[in-house]
Structure 1
Amino acid sequence: MDAAFTAEQDEIRRTLRELLGKRSGPDEVKAAVRTAPGYDRELWQLLAHRLGLPGLALPEEAGGVGCGLTELVLACEETGRTLTPSPLLATSLLAAPLIAALGTTEQRARLLPALAAGALTAALVVPGTALSTALDLTADSAPGAWAGGGRAGGVQARPTPAEQAGGGEPDRPGARDGAAVGDGAGARDGAGAWRLYGEAAQVLDGHSADLLVVAAHTGGFARGRAQLFLVRADAAGVVRARQTALDETRPQGRVQLRDVPAELLGSDDEADVCAALAGTGRGAAAALAAEAAGAAGQALARTVEYVRTREQFGRPVGSFQAVKHRLADVYVQVQAARSAAYYAAWDPGQGGLALAQALEALRTAASEAVQLHGGIGFTWEHDAHLYFKRAAADELLFGPVHRLRAHAADRAGLFAAAPGSPPTTVPATVPTTVPATVPTAGPAGSGEERVAV
């Protein structure tokens, strides 16, 4: 196997880094997050037209570039370096793969070219904090669990009278609200055959996306199941508002659905939906890992640059051995996270472990950046806090790290008991405290590799 990147992949990385270096510096990022959508629309269109970024991993017959997950991972590493706010995560990593996997031929032909061209943005609406569960990252995507439950909460779906009767157009006022999602030309088969009601918070780009892919519970409580539906963001009954988020570079919104017409995405087989969500989660985890590794690498680079010039006691801060050791530890973590992300691009099944490694590296790099920048690093206005907030917010959205690793271990059966073996129990005589004579581990950071400061 040749693990080296191709010339085309290196060119994608180089071009994107050059463009973002000019258009997405810290000042531009801070200005973009304060706009209504939370990102620079002009930059998003530039990325779509020049690089085809929204459709990088979509096939050419769907209007995409025809590359694969590896190219998207490299692109996400570059957007992570600059913390560029964009609809890339919600549109290209979450919504588009679900439409490609579950959508009917007509749905894919209607929606994917617009998503690939950047003309249409989308968001995955999962109630509550169940996004990581729905994507099979921290727990099994149990039927119905990621849609908010059946009796109350989340989003509920019910068929229209016409659908219950066996087909036809909804025989109720406002039936034309069921025009096909993404197309104002009129109603199509299945469009508007369902009505959704409920609420979901903390939806990535939920306040600005043009298309909503909504996880909803159908069938009541006793025989309920979870399905995915397509909803036009401008449909009657959709109420959206931007929420205050810890990480402003990942804008989030609250979505309320008040008897909104919806279109079932693909079939009504819940097993297919869970499988598609799990597959989407694996690819998204690999891209998120690369994004976090890129952010961690940039946080480290800025810290190294600062300690080279900042003087204390008549000498650069970076000349102190303790500072060198701390930065060397961060460097090792960042390189391990980058390698794990690249491996996950080749084997998406390892996306969860790669994401855990990258989130941990980003948290460490951001914390050290705040610490080693001294008094100025503790101010909210400093750029180091952009990376610190990204590290904390990503763990809240897709982690935490220990659950990502625990779920990966459960799937691999690392701690499964051997057939016929008795259950493992803890004797009652085992002490609950550590004796004072037990030696503790020494400090980390004894490796030979160092960061030049």
Structure 2
Amino acid sequence: MHAAVTEEQREIRRTVRDLLAKRAGPRETRAAVATPEGYDTDLWHRMSTTLGLPGLTLPEAYGGVGCGLAELALACEETGRALAPSPLLATTGLAAPLITALGTEGQRAALLPSLADGSLTCALVVPGVSLALALGLTGDDADGSWAGGGRAGGVQARTADGGWRLYGEAAQVLDGHSAGLLLVAAHAGGFARSRTLLFLVRGDAAGVVRHRQPTLDLTRSQASVHLRDVEAELLGEEPVDVPGALAGAGRAAAVMVAAEAIGAARAALDRTVDHVGTREQFGRPIGSFQAVKHRLADLYVQVEAAHSLAYCAAREPDADGGLGGLALAAALEALRAVAGETIQLHGGIGFTWEHEAHLYFKRATADELLFGPARRLRARAAERTGLFGDSGPPGGGPREGAGGIRGDGAGGGRDGDGGGRRVGTSWPSARV
């Protein structure tokens, strides 16, 4: 099923694709990730000023375009197709929704216009190693134990001289080394009155120490952020529903990451189709062999199914039924399957680290580590919809392999095929 695309949405897709085709090829991507920022700053400037991507979903009153999540998903599909490194996910997907939802009128007026035009980038600083849990994608942790739980560890906040001071650290912060503004999740009130709050911290503030970390996927820059008695500004006014706002941002971020994964999967599948159509074995292209056709047909169907689910979630971003998590799970599995087959079907050259196939494989693996795994995304969706009732699934936890919650074959089939027959016996007729 393909949802109708408006002329405006087609134009968004076309303009983003044209720009990235000129400025974000594999060679340009490898050069961009080697810069101190981890992305092409000139390309980001063009994406921001010419295309307006950072402000695509922000209100017009704050310099945004006022579009919906579906338009942003189309743009993300194109950035994922090119694997273009940029602060778009960290700034527009994670930070901007939180500032919009919780910030005071003064904070929104001061920050959102700069986020919309790309002159200011922002990173969400979440302590611990479970960004997906903090965003409500893989579990419900309303007490904020991922942020320190009021005990030692994480980031702690205390009042001093009428303001706030932060102390602590976070190890995996997307684009945290280059962001001009940090949005920090911290615990306040000690253990007895523990609560999670969000704070605004300037990236160059005294006491902030940031280091870019080596990562599996170089197109997803991460940093360690250390806060040593740093002056901070509370986002919004107490009382604030930080877990609820994080969950809302998580639903939007899930759609963005899913769209990026679908774009990457389609690009990898395109490359594979081109390769098997020209590589010959036994005097004929390997793409003419039925076994290869079956494998590619399976991948095509899996990517298209993930695409339909992702855009369904994009059109219902406020639904609390776990649709965003389901879309993300399907997209991550599709990218993982396509990336693996891309390496296999490219033969010996596909196993070299220098080949583009590994860029997609690393993106698939890193995204699932950051935002998954897929089985937990599905289990969380099952909890939200009450699939197993109040008592939960048999055995006290998500059932893996029964009813298809787990997608690794234990539920009656391998990844993506749902335990059914192979689909199609001919070459995929449509270009992905």
Please indicate, yes or no, whether the TM-score normalized by the shorter chain is above 0.5: yes
Residue type of the partner of 2:37? P
Separation in structure 2 between the aligned mates of residue 330 and residue 3 of structure 1, nearest angstrom: 20
Q: Does the 8 A contact of 1:290 with 1:338 survive in 2?
A: yes
Q: Does the 8 A contact of 1:329 with 1:445 survive in 2?
A: no
Report the CA distance between 1:148 and its aligned residue: 2.3
Q: Which residue matches 1:386?
A: 359
Q: Which residue matches 1:259?
A: 229
Report the CA distance between 1:141 and its aligned residue: 3.3
Q: Where do 1:352-431 residues align within 5 Å?
A: 352-416=325-389
Q: Which residue matches 2:289?
A: 320
Residue type of the partner of 2:205? A
Closer/same/farther in 2, CA of residues 425 and 399 from structure 1, 3 Å limit: closer
The reply to whether residue 345 of structure 1 matches residue 314 of structure 2 is yes
Closer/same/farther in 2, CA of residues 107 and 425 from structure 1, 3 Å limit: closer
Could you report, residue by residue, the CA deviation over 1:275-298 in whole angstroms, capped at 9, with x for unpaired residues?
Answer: 111111111111111111111111
CA RMSD of aligned residues (A): 1.9
Q: Does the 8 A contact of 1:197 with 1:257 survive in 2?
A: yes
Q: Does the 8 A contact of 2:286 with 2:292 survive in 1?
A: yes
The reply to whether residue 278 of structure 1 matches residue 254 of structure 2 is no
Closer/same/farther in 2, CA of residues 358 and 220 from structure 1, 3 Å limit: same
Report the CA distance between 1:425 and its aligned residue: 7.4
Residue type of the partner of 2:258? A
Could you report, residue by residue, the CA deviation over 1:304-353 in whole angstroms, capped at 9, with x for unpaired residues?
Answer: 10000111111111111111100100000000011111101111231110
Report the CA distance between 1:448 and its aligned residue: 2.8
Separation in structure 1 between the aligned mates of residue 144 and residue 306 of structure 2, nearest angstrom: 33
Query: Which contiguous aligned blocks of 4+ residues in structure 1 show a shift greater than 3 angstroms?
Result: 423-426, 440-445, 449-453
Q: Does the 8 A contact of 2:294 with 2:424 survive in 1?
A: no
Residue type of the partner of 2:174? L
Q: Pick one of 171, 191, 212 that aligns with 1:201.
A: 171
Q: Pick one of 226, 230, 233 that aligns with 2:196.
A: 226
Q: Which residue matches 1:154?
A: 154
Which structure has the larger Rg over C-alpha atoms? 1
Separation in structure 2 between the aligned mates of residue 289 and residue 269 of structure 1, nearest angstrom: 32
Report the CA distance between 1:444 and its aligned residue: 5.9
Q: Which residue matches 1:183?
A: none
Report the CA distance between 1:450 and its aligned residue: 4.1
Residue type of the partner of 1:302? R
Q: Which residue matches 1:25?
A: 25
Q: Which residue matches 2:409?
A: none
The alignment's TM-score, normalised by the length of structure 2, stands at 0.91
Closer/same/farther in 2, CA of residues 359 and 296 from structure 1, 3 Å limit: same
Report the CA distance between 1:269 and its aligned residue: 2.5
Look up the SS of the partner of 1:300 in the other structure: helix
Q: Does the 8 A contact of 1:141 with 1:278 survive in 2?
A: no
Residue type of the partner of 1:137? L
Report the CA distance between 1:155 and its aligned residue: 0.5
Separation in structure 2 between the aligned mates of residue 315 and residue 247 of structure 1, nearest angstrom: 36
Q: Where do 1:5-404 residues align within 5 Å?
A: 5-160=5-160, 162-163=161-162, 193-270=163-240, 272-348=241-317, 349=319, 350-404=323-377
Structure 1, unmatched stretches of 5+, are 164-192, 427-439
Separation in structure 2 between the aligned mates of residue 66 and residue 249 of structure 1, nearest angstrom: 28
Look up the SS of the partner of 2:300 in the other structure: helix
Structure 2, unmatched stretches of 5+, are 397-411
Paired residues, what number?
405
Separation in structure 1 between the aligned mates of residue 13 and residue 136 of structure 2, nearest angstrom: 29
Could you report, residue by residue, the CA deviation over 1:147-171 in whole angstroms, capped at 9, with x for unpaired residues?
Answer: 12221111011000x32xxxxxxxx
